[in-house]
Amino acid sequence: MRKIIISGGGTGGHIFPAISIANKLVETIKDIDILFVGAQDRMEMEKVPAAGYPIEGLWISGFQRSWSLKNLSFPFKVIASMFKSNRIISSFKPDLVIGVGGYASGPMLQAAASKGIPTMIQEQNSYAGITNKLLGKKVDTICVAFDGMEKFFSKDKIVLTGNPIRQDILTLQYSAEDSRKHLGLENKKTVLTVGGSLGARSINLGIKACAREIVGAGIQIVWQTGTAFFDEATQFVQSEKLENGVKVFDFISEMDRAYAAADVIVSRAGAIAVSEICCVGKPAILVPFPHAAEDHQTKNAKALSENDAALLVVDSEANNLGQVIIELFANPEKMVQLSKNVSALAHRNAAEKIVAEAKKLLYANT
């Protein structure tokens, strides 16, 4: 029996890739026991058990970059999390610990490395975060999603794998017409706007400002707003009588359907969103969240836009989204070029590559 801990979480961008890795491990290793370790009160405590895996929670959170009373408890959280991480390792006795980013991965990987347990991390972004840069000096293998990561990590530890994404998005079994019908849409030009699982206020305000203009151009909108903006968007669509051209969702659980229905995607530039867009191969307009750690979303977006694989609109200019969307739909040659170039950047077998590296560590001494 091989025992593996997968640690990290905090957002869907960390959790869903971690579950993809776990599923591939179970699929390829017969006798395996997987334990997740996340942060208490974060979404992994719900999503991981729903996927069928046990999870332990650490009392840990991020350090606030601006002054906050929450920072007073940070040293105590680190100490408590290190203590519990060591306790989990002593009781579970893992053969390998994998970190996927997020608050919990730091203390868990630190504890494992200090005990000589094989360790690996999966860095999802084109710009490594502080935790992974520190962990990178101690772990055995670093799986990355972008080229050029030697500026953050030792070259001999790096393996280019890409980011694992959900199987339903990898395969996109449904046609555009069928998916539009399923989502209650007409079968015509469609733009999908998403801001991550929590929504993106600047994108929402940009779409609100230009929705009538977009619909007037014969383009229907699938608008994922997040919970906070859902009521405002719904009321706006009703008051403007745009129900036939705009479909509002607070959260889209069937993202494979949404991607299949879309001709163009407007999105934030989180690592997993970018990886999914590459795999679905649709023209994209990326609006990076400017306050992400180390501005990594802008760097992710530039990794595509500088290869003519997506358009980049800075957050402060999101009110111009309508013009950018309409101009892109009016230029089918550009849409074909963006689709071709973004597809070329896809890593479709990322989970398999990561599991192959995990196996090397698992069986290194056998």
If one compares 269 and 62, the residue with the highest pLDDT of the two is 269
Q: How many CA atoms lie within 13 A of 362 on its CB side?
A: 21
Q: Quick one: 36 exposed, middle or buried, by C-beta within 10 A (0-12, 13-18, 19+)?
A: buried
What pLDDT, in 10s, does the model give residues 179-188? Answer: 999 999 999 9
Confidence band of 57 (pLDDT split at 50, 70, 90): confident
Predicted pLDDT of residue 80: 83
Residue 134 has pLDDT above 90, yes or no: no
Say what the alpha-carbon torsion angle 153, 159, 163, 167 is, to the nearest 10 degrees: -160
Q: What are phi and psi of 270, to 5 degrees?
A: -60, 155
Rounded distance, CA 307 to CA 39, Å? 36
Predicted pLDDT of residue 61: 63
What pLDDT, in 10s, does the model give residues 80-96? Answer: 888 899 999 999 999 99
* Tokens 């800075």 found at: 314
Portion of the chain with pLDDT greater than 70, in percent: 93
Predicted pLDDT of residue 171: 86
Question: What would the DSSP string read from start to end of 3-45?
Answer: EEEEE--SSHHHHHHHHHHHHHHHHH-SSEEEEEEEETTSTHH
What pLDDT, in 10s, does the model give residues 100-119? Answer: 987 788 899 999 999 999 99
Domains annotated for the chain, with CATH where assigned, are 2-163+349-362 (3.40.50.2000), 168-344 (3.40.50.2000)
Taking residues 295-299, what's their average pLDDT? 90
Q: What tokens does 69 get?
A: 């009373």
pTM of the model: 0.84
Q: Bin 143: left if φ > 0, else alpha if -120 < ψ < 50, else beta.
A: beta
What mean pLDDT value characterizes the chain?
91
Contact assessment for residue 347 and residue 275, using Cβ atoms and an 8 Å cutoff: yes
Contact assessment for residue 188 and residue 220, using Cβ atoms and an 8 Å cutoff: yes
